[in-house]
Amino acid sequence: MPTYEPDAAFWADWRRLRPEQRAAFIRARTLFLAGLETGTFHPSLRIKRFNSRGIYELSWGPDGRALWAYGTPPEGHTGPHIVWIRVGTHKIFD
């Protein structure tokens, strides 16, 4: 089962999101984690490499974005581990 953890910048972004943006991200995160398990992502999710340092972008709406990277699973867990780096609109790229 995939595991995940948000970093400090993610939480700062999270606090600035409106309730409907938070709900949309939670729906997208659920689909994303399911896709990690099956190896097939829902077509509404657009996932692509963001840079050469192993950071990826997840587009979850017209102006909904999240940056993430693969991390090391916690002890005793197997499968992919995701570190959520940023979440919000296109402004997270500034």
- What pLDDT sits at residue 52? 87
**Cα maximum dimension of the chain:** 37
Its pTM stands at: 0.91
Q: Provide the β-strand partners of residue 81.
A: 3, 71
pLDDT tens per residue, range 41-60: 999 999 999 998 899 999 98
Strand ranges across the sheet with 81-88 = 3-6, 81-88, 64-71, 55-61, 46-49
pLDDT of residue 94 exceeding 90: no
Categorize the per-residue pLDDT at 64 as very low, low, confident or very high, splitting at 50, 70 and 90. Answer: very high
* Residues 68 and 82: beta-carbon distance below 8 Å: yes
Domain that holds residue 13: 3-93
CATH number (domain holding residue 14): 3.30.2310.20
Q: How many domains does the chain have?
A: 1
Res 93: pLDDT: 86
- pLDDT tens sequence across 6-25: 999 999 999 999 999 999 99
Average pLDDT, stretch 56-67?
A: 92
